[in-house]
Amino acid sequence: MTADALASQAPTAAPLGSGAPVLAFDVGGTDTKAALVDADGRLVRVLRIPTPHAGEATGDAVVDAIAGLAARFTAEHPDVVPQAAGLLVPGHVDDAAGVGVFAENLGWHDFPFRDRAEQALGLPVSFSHDVRGAGEAEHRLGAAAPYRDVVVMAIGTGIAGAVFVDGRLYTGGGMAGEMGHSRVADGPVCACGGIGCLEAVASAASIARRYNAAAGADVPGAREVLERAQHEDAVAQRVWESALDALALDLSHTVALLAPEAIVIGGGLAQAGPALFEPLAAKLDGILTFHRRPVLLPASIGENAGVIGAALRARDLLVTAPAPEPAS
């Protein structure tokens, strides 16, 4: 890792509140983000590096990279001494076992991230899934906080969610919240091999890809498709509408099965704001009948939700671990 590979962001306010200083890592398919959180709950420093890709050795390379980031935090901020770390990775993640079971494009299979990270960092490590970690940040500090039964969805390159029932995160053995791989249409074929998966129709990446294929265009993202739809581009309108139809259909299944009080949507597509939320709510309303209507809300934590969720989980380790002294 070289200094050139590092990009940093300005420290933010103290979103976490007071508690132990901790390290937080959010490993994505492209970038890995790291944060040093102090006792006031400030993100003292946020760093971003490209996620190392090393085939079957990617798990080890990721652990080496976060150890390097931790060392850099120590060198820069020797006054902030982390007492635990939170680590999030994508793919199929078994939170309870501390294992990264599998991640498309990241090469690991049943990699014991928690144990390896604890060895490398010399700290207790909380390990979870990236979308569940960001969802926990939204549920404890963000838009999902007022609700006990709530689904937090991220719609970006992919689509996945964190499911909270009766106030608790539900992981389903690490496989819950994969609504991105629910069939909502007769096509196209999804990267997972499924047909008509929600993610293949309505993710930000798929909206751009479908538009480019249909229009012979080369727009970089869903934002441009929405702009063209708002300027009477019939192909863009068709692609955008079909994505909203697919999202509304999938949400209606979520509502029928789980009856959440709210559905919080983050990720790149949520940047569309009312252009997404207003027609989506109307389409969902048109499908539902007697069901409990969920409130549709944009995520509020922003791009640092992952590291904030990881930091919250790291602090949990310290709060729940020690047994109280018996009263004498």
CB nearer to its own copies: give 133 or 180: 180
Written as six digits, the tokens of 126 are 């909380």
CB nearer to its own copies: give 190 or 236: 190
Coil/strand/helix, residue 53: coil
Residue selected from 10, 218, 231, 289 as contacting its own copies according to rule CB under 8 A = 289
**Is position 96 an interface residue for its own copies (rule: CB under 8 A)?**
no
Please list, residue by residue across 121-160, b when 16 or more beta carbons sit within 10 angstroms of its beta carbon and e when fewer do: bebbbbbbbbbbbbbbbbbbbbbbeebebbbbbbbbbbbb
Stretch that binds its own copies, among 40-48, 71-79, 252-260, 297-305 (CB under 8 A): 252-260
Residue selected from 55, 78, 193, 220 as contacting its own copies according to rule CB under 8 A = 193
Question: Between 305-320 and 130-141, two packed helices, what is the crossing angle to 10 degrees?
Answer: 80
Stretch that binds its own copies, among 109-117, 136-144, 235-243, 246-254 (CB under 8 A): 246-254
Which of 164, 168, 173, 195 has its CA nearest to residue 182?
Answer: 195
Instruction: Compute the least distance from the CB of residue 303 to its own copies, in Å.
Output: 26
Phi, psi of 21 (to 5 degrees): -65, 135
Residue selected from 14, 242, 253, 279 as contacting its own copies according to rule CB under 8 A = 253
**Is position 316 an interface residue for its own copies (rule: CB under 8 A)?**
no
Residue pair 63/112 in contact (Cβ under 8 Å)? The answer is no
CB nearer to its own copies: give 213 or 291: 291
Coil/strand/helix, residue 49: strand
Residue selected from 102, 124, 217, 242 as contacting its own copies according to rule CB under 8 A = 102
Residue selected from 15, 260, 266, 268 as contacting its own copies according to rule CB under 8 A = 260
Cα 250 to chain centroid distance, Å, stands at 19
Q: Please write down the long-range contacts of 272-279, taking CB distance under 8 Å and 24 or more positions apart.
A: 272/222, 272/223, 272/226, 273/298, 275/226, 275/230, 276/244, 279/244
**Is position 163 an interface residue for its own copies (rule: CB under 8 A)?**
yes
Binding site for its own copies (CB under 8 A): 92, 102, 149, 161, 163, 165-166, 168, 170, 172-183, 190, 192-195, 249-250, 252-254, 256-261, 287-292
